[in-house]
Amino acid sequence: MHRLLTSIAQHALIAVGVATLGCSRPARIGADLVLTHANIWTGDPTQPTAAAVAVIGDRIVDVGGADEIERWRGPATTVVDAEGRRVVPGFNDSHVHFVDGGTQLDSVDLKDADSPEEFARRIAARARTQPGKWILGGEWDDQRWTPPQLPTRALIDDATGGTPVFVSRYDGHMALANSAALGRAGITERSPDPPGGAIVRDANGYPTGILKDAAMDFVTRVIPKMTTEDRLRAVKRAMEHAASLGVTSVQDMNPSYEDVAVYADLANRGELTVRIYAAPTETGFYDQAKLGIHRSFGSSWLRLGAVKGYADGSLGSTTAYFFQPYADAPTTRGLLSAEMQPIEHMRTRLMAADAAGLQLCIHAIGDAGISQVLDLFGDVVRTNGDRDRRLRIEHAQHIAPKDFDRFADLKVIASVQPYHAIDDGRWAERRIGPERIKTTYAFKTLVDKGVRLAFGSDWPVAPLNPMLSLYAATTRATLDGKNPSGWVPEQKIAIADAVTAYTRAAAFAEFQEREKGTLARGRLADLVILTDDILTIPAPQIKDVRVLTTIVGGKVVYQRRP
């Protein structure tokens, strides 16, 4: 509140200053921005709806009816007329990989290339515009081709020549290298498969260009590291993308220290248009702890003080860690991550990080992975004592029925990505069977148990667009169109709960609920005008809703062109 009062006082002084310099009008505070004629969902239970908002500096000074707010209009006030549209607090994505996302926006896009010819055409076009420069990214999906078949280097070698290409399948578990890239990596027909990886070969034993899992490292090792300029460009592209989608805050998981340095430079120059909470890797917790950095330390634009760790892998790669074997891979029940082995080391680090005042965010997907993290969190609470620490499990996909109450008792936040539910929902039952899917992406059970849900996308693993996540959480309609009335429909949640999870609860998950996530007096002026009313339209239509205007800190950072 202090900052707000200071801000108002400064404005008053400026106004008085102008008055004493000969302006005859009496001194009065005009808002910098007034948003009016809006259908506002404030997220604030004490005043759930409003029609207008006044902003001074980067904060909301008043929320109310259009007439009430009119008195804030001064000669220099910017007025944004929402024309009756739905306005909500800016979306806060609780789990992104921001620099990866920005990088992907500039990479060749193969996701919807639905034939080998189209795949080759797009790569050839990219090679013409940037000859000699590595072509990366891709996100191709061979299952879209009829018949499905893995691409080969022969498809692209002629068109790319000496330009190295290394484009990934969308799941990140295999990639196609052209001959130039194989050459730089030193891969030949004589190269053996590495442990945990495979070099796919043709009938004559020559590499086809497809490298699986650990074999991909041969090439990634020789790709030049991103420069600071590359990183800056990626962050700028990511910020533009976020603004266009109404994402005003992101919680960035596992940024490198070079990433944070770029954020810090942008923050110092006043050039961030999205607020960033950076959670570097848990194994490096001491880097923050030794400086005395606590949870949520920093400015409203850039904060540190969380650590992000991994307990297990993913469902798609059968590395999420389960109590029982996979239904379609009965020899395995997944893998605990390297940082969980031995578990005592993980426990020691988490205890120390927590004692240092850092927030713990741990990736756990399989039921046994989640259970082990809950055990560890229980140890942390018992040893370090009760306090407001907002422990988080990232993903929390497949929860054992016995563990829902533990989530609630330990006040663990479930940081979940609803889009994965409609994506994995296409094949998850085949992988883990009919029983375990009942408590898979179990958003309704979590809500009913009083567990706080914080929504995010996991961008670029899934799209950054919050509308797709809201659509996913409220419809659970899988991407293949096979479950129009919902996959495990008991786990659908109400749209108001979903929007809360993407705004107020996401702010809570980063200790910022008094700063943002609701549209109320004193809060940061982060808000979004939408084309349609997501709170009342049929849920299947939510995915097509667009953002008209995004305002961050009282400034318009995105305006959709008519």
Stretch of residues binding Zn ion (CB under 5 A), selected from 70-78, 188-196, 451-459, 487-495: 451-459
Stretch of residues binding Zn ion (CB under 5 A), selected from 28-36, 39-47, 74-82, 453-461: 453-461
Stretch of residues binding Zn ion (CB under 5 A), selected from 237-245, 457-465, 485-493, 520-528: 457-465
Closest to Zn ion by CB, 93 vs 458, is: 458
Q: Closest by alpha carbon to 493, among 550, 525, 435, 451?
A: 451
Phi/psi of residue 252, nearest 5 degrees: -95, 120
The pair of three-digit structure tokens given for residue 314, joined into one six-digit string? 């993913």
The pair of three-digit structure tokens given for residue 145, joined into one six-digit string? 């081709």
Query: How far apart (Å, rounded) are the C-alpha atoms in residues 256 and 230?
Result: 14
Distance of CA 93 to the CA centre of its chain: 5
Closest to Zn ion by CB, 176 vs 365, is: 365
Query: How far apart (Å, rounded) are the C-alpha atoms in residues 279 and 254?
Result: 6
Closest to Zn ion by CB, 57 vs 309, is: 309
Stretch of residues binding Zn ion (CB under 5 A), selected from 75-83, 148-156, 456-464, 498-506: 456-464
CB of 253 to Zn ion, least distance (A): 5
Closest to Zn ion by CB, 58 vs 458, is: 458
CB of 394 to Zn ion, least distance (A): 7
The pair of three-digit structure tokens given for residue 37, joined into one six-digit string? 């004629």
Give the interface size with Zn ion as a residue count (CB under 5 A). Answer: 1
Q: Is 4 exposed, middle or buried (0-12, 13-18, 19+ CB in 10 A)?
A: middle
Instruction: For residue 403, state whether it binds Zn ion (rule: CB under 5 A).
Output: no
Q: Closest by alpha carbon to 90, among 326, 345, 273, 316?
A: 273
CB of 258 to Zn ion, least distance (A): 18
Contact 69, 94 (CB under 8 A): no
* One-letter amino acid of 539: A
Element (H, E) at 507: helix 504-508
Closest to Zn ion by CB, 253 vs 381, is: 253
Instruction: For residue 259, state whether it binds Zn ion (rule: CB under 5 A).
Output: no
CB of 459 to Zn ion, least distance (A): 9
In the chain the first and final C-alpha atoms are separated, in Å, by: 38
Residue appearing with tokens 């979306």? 91
Closest to Zn ion by CB, 282 vs 458, is: 458
Instruction: For residue 458, state whether it binds Zn ion (rule: CB under 5 A).
Output: yes
Closest to Zn ion by CB, 458 vs 526, is: 458
CB of 254 to Zn ion, least distance (A): 7
CB of 458 to Zn ion, least distance (A): 4
CB of 96 to Zn ion, least distance (A): 8
CB of 171 to Zn ion, least distance (A): 13
Q: For Cα atoms 516, 522, 528, give the angle at the middle one, nearest 5 degrees.
A: 45
CB of 388 to Zn ion, least distance (A): 25
Query: How far apart (Å, rounded) are the C-alpha atoms in residues 195 and 476?
Result: 38
Give the full edge-to-edge strand order of the sheet including 207-213. 108-109, 137-140, 166-169, 174-177, 207-213, 197-201
Closest to Zn ion by CB, 137 vs 207, is: 137
Nearest residue to Zn ion, by Cβ distance, number only: 458
Stretch of residues binding Zn ion (CB under 5 A), selected from 440-448, 458-466, 480-488, 546-554: 458-466
List residues binding Zn ion (CB under 5 A): 458
